[in-house]
Each structure stands twice: as C-alpha cells, then as structure tokens.
Structure 1
Amino acid sequence: MLGVVINTKVSLHSAQSVHVEQELSLRIGGTFERGRGPAFPVLNPATEQTIAEVQSADLEQVERAVAAARAGLDRKEMGSAEERSAALTRLADVIESHADEILAVSVNEVGTPVSTARNLHVDTPLRALRWLAQGTLTDRTEYLGRDDGPPASNSKVIYRPVGVVAGIAAYNYPLLFAVIKVGAAFAAGCPSVLLSSPNAPLGILNFGRFVEEAGWPASSVSVLAGGVDVAQHLIKQPDVAKVTFTGSVPAGKAVMATAAGGLRDVVLELGGKSAAIVLPSADAASVVGPIHSRYLRNAGQGCASPTRILVHESALETFLQHSRDYFSSVAVGDPWDTQTLVGPVISERHRQTVQGYIDSAVADGGVVLARGHKPAGPGWWVQPTLLGGLGNDARVNQEEIFGPVATVMTYSTVEEAVAIANDSTFGLHATVWGPLEEAMDVAYRLDVGQVSINGGGAKRPDAPNGGWKNSGIGREFGEAGIREFLEAVHIQWPVP
C-alpha cells in the first residue's frame, strides 16, 4: 500500500497545519497499486493550489476489479450476516479514529467549511455505518402461508444478494456516498467496485485504506479513480449486476443508457430543486436564518437544498428585509475559519456555471434581492445571491444550480404554493414552515421523497432517501437502501 504524507490543511491561516496519510493508490481485490491511466491534479478550491496528483485507473484495472469482486462472491467470501455486521462496526470504529484526517481532506478537496464539515463528512457517514451494522442482521424472510390452490402449497420469499455492484460517487459528500453505496451493498452481501468523482478522489481513496484497516474481505471492495471513460467501462462489465450513481440528470441518463445495454438495474440520485414553503401563519422573520443557512452550507452543493423559497405575498417585505440583514452578515471565506458558513464551489468551471445562472436570470429581468460578499484573492467563490422577479417557469427556478443561490417567489393561497412547489421536473425534498398541523397537511400534498417541517431533524440513517421524477430512481439509506441490493426469490412446495 503506497501512502504518502502530505500537508492537506492548506489554510488561509498559515499557522494551521496537520499531516494526513493520503492514499494515492487504487484498491483492487485487496491489493493496492497505482493507477495506470492519465494523471490528474486535485486542487484546493479555496486556494487553487494542487493538493495531490492522482493516477486514474486504466480499463484493464477496471476489468480486474470487477473480476475480483465476482470471484470473491463465487467463493462466498462475503461471509455471514453476523460477520458482515461486525465488519461494518469495525469500519465505523476505524473511520471514527481517523475523524481529524477525514475532516482535513474534506475541507481541502471539497471546500466545505470546518463549521459544518465534521457533521456532514464524518458524523453523518458514521451514523449510517452503525445503523447498517444493525440492519445487516434483519431476517427478511417472508412466510406467505398456505395457498389452497389446487393443488395446495406453502410458500416463503427469501432475499439474496443481487451480485457485483458498481458505485459511482459525486464530489460533494464523498465519504457519505461511499458508505451508503458500498455499506448498503455489503450489508446485503454484495461486493462493490467504487469509483470516485475526479473532482474529489482523495476521500474515496482513503476509504479503501480504511476498509483494509477494518479487515474487510479482500474481494468485497475495490476503489478506483477516474473520469467518464472509466465509469462507462465499469458499467459495461458483464459481471456488474447493479449500478448506483449520484450526480446530475444528464450524467444519470448516460449511466442509465449504458446500464440498459446489459439490462442492469440502477439506483440514481440526481438532485433536486427543492421548495421552501413559508406558510401565511409562519413567523417570516424567524425562518430567514434556518432557510438560507440550509442551502448556503457546502456552498449550495447539496441535492436537497431549499432554493425555491415561496413566501406569502403579505410577508414578502418582512422576509426580504431580514434576508438582506442575513446576507450582509453571513461569513464567506476561509473554510478553516470556524465562523465561515459559505466556502468555495468545487472548481473554476463550476464557478462559471453558477455565475452564468445568476447573470442569465438578471438578463431575463430577474432582480438581485440580497447578496453576500466574495473574498479577495484566489479561490472559486460565488457570492451568496438571492434572486426574485421571475416566475416559476424561469430557468433559475427549474434547473438545479448547485451553488449558493436561491430565488424568492410569492403566492396568494396555500393551494397556489403547493401547485408551484409541485411544478418542477424534480421531486427530491421540500421544507414547510408554520404551525405543525397546517404544515403536515401541506406535506401530504407535495410530490417529493422527503418533507422537512420547521427544519426537520438530523439525517436519519434508518429513513429512505430518494425522489420523484428527475430526482432519480430507487432509494438510499434505511431498509429501502439495503433492499436495493437484494433479489426476491419465491420458494413454493406442495402440502397435504
């Protein structure tokens, strides 16, 4: 295993530093080797400095990773449910012991401010792993009982692992995606080949080291780095039984099209354009901070970000005045400053994309209602921006921007607010603010996979996550997330 020690805590405060053992090798069937494909740099989005250089996998390494997974499955190396549960617990313990390293890598390769990074990049994956360790032990056998026929019979349904899983992660929450893809597949008894985003490979490569340290079976997880060519070749492998992907709608369609060539099933989480409905009976001033901080964290690079804010027309001025005050004080800048909420976006290319949405909205007649500041110097910064003056059919209200940008629209009746919220090609998440009983009534009418009332709560590892329409196919987290990697088998026999 070829680990290197690099100073990943490249901070705008030069006095801060920490050394991290960063894995730069791929893990293929339990062995570590450098990629043989093209090299690419990993850049710190706050400083634009190179953190490391990673060699991507070549196509032969992809094939060998899948072959190792299939061979291990045939040799029954995944072990019993009890053994897999213990392995998941060990992995959680290993990750917890490396929490500071994970935090450093996440802040520096993703740009997530340290004020939220520990919860988003360490604690949430840990909760998911520890829940999966228990979920692995669930007996899912269904006893159907007697059927009189004729002829009379009895039946039960058992659940078997689907086979080799190809997991493809996005850049915004690398370790979490590794856990909910590899971890859930492992809980079901499936080996995985995990591919990182080229924008954030370091946390995923370290995941391969953590799996090794936790003593997982050699064939249970291979970890690769690479771009679209590697992903497409991985999906096409005949021994891949299922593909789980997190990313954009266009990329998800490409994944699904490739998988369809081999009639492979998919789990796709493809983002959202979540509505935040502020009910007429809500205190518009008090919800300003919770709503804006929810989509500004991680620089707006979150699929469930509530970026379409629906405010009753009578409360608009109150909401906007408090929003202007909020934006004028929100901390944007050094991710290692504990006061910072908004860090940089992942790359210069993405910065240009997000800024392009803002510019086109203004060109189309939109108005900047509130705007935060942008740090001077290097870094891929986008000023936190609140837009208004456009209808729900506007591009900025229909497409996922994936940056620190939101829009405000007004409504006159709750029925109109629900109609606007549902008028979207996405259906991942929504938030509702107001008295619980009223908000609950609205929640039942929203075409989304999850509704958070008055801020909801922590990310629950036992609750399904997924969406309607273009937000994806299938579910992650919870029992539903494990069942994605299981096939039902009906067993029937005659009885007197």
Structure 2
Amino acid sequence: MTDYLDRRAAPPWCTSFTIDGEEITGAGAALDVVGPATEETLCALPTASVSQVDGAVAAARRAFDDGRWSGLSGARRGKLLHAFADRIESLHDTLAAGVVCEVGSPVSLATTLHTDVALRVLRTYADLAAQDRTVDLGADGAPVPSRSIVAHRPMGVAAVITAYNIPLLILARAMGAALAAGCTTVVLPSPKAPLTSLIVARAAAEAGLPDGVVNIVVGGHEAGERLGTHPGVDKVAFTGSLGVGRRIMAQAVPRLTGLSLELGGKSPSLVMPGFDATEAAYEIHARYLRNGGQGCAAPARILVPRDYYDEFAELSRVALARIRTGDPWDPETIVGPMISREHRDGVRATVEAAVAGGATLVAEGPDPGRDTGWFVRPALVGGVAPEARIAQDEIFGPVGVVLPYNGIDDAVRLANGTAFGLSAHVYCRDKEDGVALAARLRAGTVAVNGGGAFRPDAPFGGFKASGFGREYGEWGVREFLEVQHVQWPAG
C-alpha cells in the first residue's frame, strides 16, 4: 500500500491532457475540481478549447487511418493492452486514492470496484482483442458459384464520454472495448471527476500504445457538444443521465453516428412471497447505498409482499442503523458524500418533498455528524404511490423506497413499472423460482439471491430508457465493430 492510502492523502495530480502522445495544457477556462468530502479544491484544471477537441479527434483519425492501431494484428493489440493494464496496476493505490479524493467513494470500494474491477475488465478486453471473429459462410452454388466470409472491422474513431460516479471502471469498459476492436479513442471524462482519468491516459503512452490511439480532453458542455457532433467521430459511447443521453442521440441523427448509451435506472429489489429477509436485509440496503447511492444500477425500489411490509420495515431499521456514513478513508464507511453541493441539496429536497406529500421515513441511517462534506443521511421512504416521483426518478443518492404488492403478478407490474430497465434483484426461497421470474422482468441484468461476483465476460446494459448497447466481454467489443460481407467467385 502506498503512502497515499497510508496517509489519507491525494496523489500528485496530472493536470495536462494527452493528445497525439503529447502532454498538453488546456487552453480553456480553469475548472476547480473539489473534493466532496472536504469541500477543498484539489486543483485548478485548465479545460480544453474547441480547437483542442478538434486536435484530439484529428490525432485519433490519423492513428486509425494510417493503420498504426487498426492495422495491427489482434494479438499485437492484445499484448499492448496487457502492457497498458500492467502500467495501471502499478498505479493501483495512486488511482484508488485519487478516487477517494475526487469522487468521495469509500476506500473499501475505491480499491475494489473502481480499480481492481477496472483492471479485470481491461485484461479481459486484452484477451478478446486477439480473437478471430471471421465467419466462413462456405460455398453457394446458385445462380453463380461463390464463396463468402463475414468479417468484423473496427468502426473508426470512438468518442468515450464518461460519468463521475465510477470513472475508472466506466473508462475501462468503454475505451477498453474500443481499443480491443481496433478503434482509436478520444475520451471526455466528467468535469466533476476528471483527474484519475488523466492519469490513465498518461499510462497508455507510458505502456507503449502508439501516439493518437488514446487521447483525452476535459471540458464542459461546449467540449461535449463539439465531440458529439464532430464529423471525424464514427461512434459515441456515453454513460450518464437520461437528459444528456437524449441530447447526444439528437446530435447523432444528422450524420447517423454510431451510438451506445448507458443512461441509468430505477432498479427493483423484489422480495418474493415466503422469503425471510432477516439475514439478507443488510445486503438488500447496502447494495443501493454503496458509493453514496450514486450507481446507475442501484436497486433502490424494494418490493415486498403486503403482509410482510411491517416486518421488513423493522428489519430495515436495524439494517440501516449499521450503515456507516462519513469519512471515505474509513474502511468501515459504506456511504460517502454526494459529488457536489447542488446534488446533495437535490437529493435532500427530493426526500423532503416526498415526506411533505405524505410519505413516511421508514428507516434512517446514523447521522454522519460532519460539518464539512456533501453528505446525505441514508433513508428508506414508504407510504408513497408507485407513480410518485421518488419511486420513479433516478435519485442517485442514498435513498430507497419500499412498496408493498399484492401477489406476484402485481410485483412484476411494479418491477417493470418505470421508464428504466437496467437491472433487477430477486430474493426467493427457491432459486429456480427467481430464475424463472427473470423472464418476466424487463431488465438487462437480473441477480437472484444476490447474484455472484462481478463477471467481466457478461453483458451489461438496459432495456427501455436505460439506453441501448451492451458493455463488457464479447458484447462490449462488438459495439465497436462493423460487420462486412466479403464474397468472391468460386471455381
């Protein structure tokens, strides 16, 4: 463990962009990156000008068109991606400390989900880069004898626009897939948490990836607008809010730019009739409270049989009393701060509005007891209609809603009764019942009785307003490939 984790200190920040293999200072206005747990400015980061965004796209275009990346064999790309992963692994504690400081994610999660899992994802893509996906269709005899293959070609320049909540993992799952496919990239991290991503971009150059293959710029709305509409971009991979996703989709229409969108969710935890949640209650709540509830797949709508509601409420009061909120450097902390003061105030206002409208606070976690930092006390809200805003909108904070249901058909209706469809959790006495129920749930991922460990080879993505496209594993790579039919006369 490095001194950064030992001393609870920020690592030395990288404040330059990487464009065409060179470190460049932003020519735009300075952005103050603020630590959400301390409210202290971590650094003043000059942002990119529109011309620098253009330069990053031009560099990626050259690196794709001249074949320095797209022309390499899959095996060679895979070897370079493993070298990239090796370099990131050597920076593991530096990156974990960076995540604690700029995101406020608890250190127990920063060292695992944010860094360990991101590394697993990148290494999985490195292995997949070497895979030959060519399909031989064989011979066709009528009316002219011919033979065909189906090849898979990289799409070109990929713009990767990431969210603040799990920046390294989101970067690895989108950029890693693009690189494995043979695309070159321009990365635009969230301006709320850009610093660890800048370290990763520098690591790509240090690992020996050719100039122009990984380019990164930081900016706000103007930079995002330019990247999303740039004629040199062939594919946009975006993770973030539904509202921004809609704007990116509209921007893509004139040029029919390729898109994959991961736009969040309002995921259910469905407790089936007969399931005793005594042992599982803590985990049911911890799943949506981790990372401060700032997770797109957070299962924050809890559905329980009506005759089990009171008992589950009592179990929830006990469970939330064990949830520690506060110092993200404390290994026992589950809930860290919100990313900004505005977001904290918005989460609090949502709960206050629900209570003012007749909702009840079924359970609360301990008060964090801190004068600084943008913290929200965890809360479980009940007594609301399924169509209430707090039960429908993605809050992105440590707030759950418990809804009673009458029979399994009603439970399925409630589970599917939002605009989103990213994930779902099912808790049941008999796992076969949960697996069977998954077929009725409109969700891209269904976990039965907690599911299992993270799988970098399994697809992730959503139905409905949660977006389209899939990430991780072979599914992730194919998002950045075009299918090409090649045919020639036989004989």
Shared fold by TM > 0.5? yes
Give the letter for the 1:389 counterpart. G
State how 1:35-434 maps to structure 2 within 5 Å.
35-78=26-69, 79-372=72-365, 373-434=367-428
Using the TM superposition, give the Cα deviation of residue 145 of structure 1 relative to its aligned residue in structure 2, in angstroms: 1.8
1:455 aligns with 2:450: yes
Q: Aligned partner of 2:490: which letter?
A: V
1:132-180 Cα distance to aligned partner (Å, 9 max, x none): 1111111100111223331232211001110000000000011111111
The corresponding residue for 1:478 is 473
Asked if the contact 2:282/2:320 (under 8 Å) is kept, the reply is no
- TM-score with structure 2 setting the length: 0.97
Please report how far the alpha carbon of residue 27 of structure 1 lies from its aligned counterpart in structure 2 after TM superposition. 0.4
Aligned partners of 1:18, 1:215: CA distance in 2, in Å? Answer: 29
Aligned residues, how many?
485
- Rounded Cα–Cα distance in structure 2 between residues aligned with 1:338 and 1:187: 35
Report the aligned-residue RMSD: 1.3
Percent pairwise identity: 46
SS at match of 1:240: coil
Whole-angstrom distance in 2 between the partners of 1:329 and 1:323: 10
User: Aligned equivalents of 1:345 and 1:320: distance in 2?
Assistant: 26
Q: What amino acid sits opposite 2:406 in the alignment? A: S
SS of equivalent to 1:22: coil
Aligned to 1:144, the other structure's residue is in SS state strand
Give the Cα separation in 2 of the matches to 1:338 and 1:437: 36
Residue aligning to 1:446: 441
- Where 1:20 maps in the other structure, the secondary structure is coil
- In 1, the alpha carbon distance for the partners of 2:369 and 2:92 equals 28
Q: Deviation at 1:352?
A: 1.3
Instruction: Report the Cα offset of residue 20 of structure 1.
Output: 2.1
Deviation at 1:8, TM superposition (A): 7.3
Provide the rounded CA distance (Å) in 2 between the counterparts of 1:489 and 1:51.
Answer: 48
Maintained 8 Å contact 2:18/2:24: yes
Contact 1:8 1:51 in 2 (8 A): no
- Report which stretch shifted further, 325-334 or 168-177: 325-334
TM-score normalised per structure 1: 0.96
Aligned AA for 2:34? L
- Offset at residue 91 of structure 1 (A): 1.3
Q: 1:370·1:385 contact (CA, 8 Å) conserved in 2?
A: yes
Contact 1:386 1:407 in 2 (8 A): yes
Pairwise CA distance, 1:471: 0.1
Once the 2 structures are TM-superposed, how far is the Cα of residue 19 of structure 1 from its aligned partner? 5.8
Aligned counterparts of 1:179 and 1:19: Cα–Cα separation in 2: 22
Secondary structure at the aligned position of 2:115 is classed as helix
Contact 1:285 1:318 in 2 (8 A): no
Instruction: Answer yes or no: is 1:436 the counterpart of 2:431.
Output: yes
CA contact (8 A) 2:76 2:130 kept: no
Mind listing any 5+ residue stretches in structure 1 that lack a counterpart? 1-6, 10-14
The DSSP-based 3-state class of the residue aligned with 1:193 is strand
Offset of residue 313 of structure 1: 1.5
